[in-house]
Amino acid sequence: MRLDKLLSDRGYGTRKEIKKLLSKQGVQIGDVTIKDPGYQVQPEDVVVFNGEVVSTERFSYYLFHKPAGCVCANEDHVHPTIFSYVPNPKNTLFSVGRLDLDTEGLLLITNDGQLAHALLSPRRHVDKVYFAKLSGAITDDDIKLFAEGVDIGDEKLCMPALLERANDRGDEIRITIKEGRFHQVKRMFEAVGKEVLYLKRESMGPFTLDEQLPAGSYRTLTEEELSYLQGFTNHTKE
């Protein structure tokens, strides 16, 4: 991989910014100072930039069906974590966003920080679809309010959300949101006097939870999904 691309992918700046930094200070690879942005970094190289060792590993991407009862953390002294299910031997993986302890469903796991930032940025308006069971039936007024933006006590209203009935009674729903605020879905329904009894994320952007993927299982992304990521983050996979 080109040196400037490696540093850019690891979040040290744009390719243009990296070239300027390299021309001034370079990086240390072994005992040699490298200033050439086109230098081809090998997997065995130890790259030191600004006093930090830069990982030369390729990015990993997993789609995980998070079960209820585990937390989105590398370690926890009370509950199992998502890495009780997904191997993380070098402790480099993390989840793209979080699901609550009692929430299950689709979770992306990676070591690609730029991807995580892009998918979670409100400016990107990435749709997240949840299925929920509620303590009471939604009304037409609820659907209208969600479409306008719900007040959950934050400085700003929630962005407009699509609320749909998933059964005839209206106590099972699907909701599409474009943000990821703290306990957002639960707080939105609390605002209209309903409790979320069960919550499952079914999709995030183009990623959909496989029906054949049991809770606690994971898979690598498909070529089509990886192709989407390439365009979404402007990465060129080596």
**How many residues are listed for the chain in this entry?**
238
Residue 36 bears catalytic tag: no
Catalytic residue among 36, 45, 76, 100: 100
User: Active-site positions?
Assistant: 100
